[in-house]
């Protein structure tokens, strides 16, 4: 039972997570970008229309992310 090297797999035959990390990183950045620049602004406009100044006051008092960007 010899070792047959495969791209992205360990000796045990299990996938090597580091072999997929660039694709995973790109996917996460893409997903974050879609939420940050499309989904969240769309939902915020809807909430502003629904709740008006109360929502704007709330939005000013809390952070969307851990840090403000």
* pLDDT given for residue 38 in this prediction: 97
> Which residue would you say has higher pLDDT here, 44 or 5?
44
DSSP string across 1-64:
------TTB-TTS-B-HHHHHHHHHHHHHHHHHHIIIIIHHHHHHHHHHHHTHHHHHHHHHS-S
**Residue range(s) defining the domain that contains residue 41:** 17-61
pLDDT band for position 52 (cuts 50, 70, 90): very high
Number of domain units in the chain: 1
Kindly state whether residue 55 falls inside one of the protein's structural domains: yes
Kindly state whether residue 22 falls inside one of the protein's structural domains: yes
Kindly state whether residue 24 falls inside one of the protein's structural domains: yes
Average pLDDT over residues 21-41: 93
* pLDDT given for residue 16 in this prediction: 66
């Amino acid at each position: 039972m010899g070792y047959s090297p495969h791209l992205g797999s360990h000796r045990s035959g299990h996938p090597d997570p580091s072999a997929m990390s660039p694709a995973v990183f790109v996917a996460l950045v893409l997903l974050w970008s879609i939420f940050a620049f499309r989904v969240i602004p769309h939902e915020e406009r809807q909430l502003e229309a629904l709740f008006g100044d109360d929502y704007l006051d709330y939005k000013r008092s809390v952070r969307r992310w851990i840090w403000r960007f």
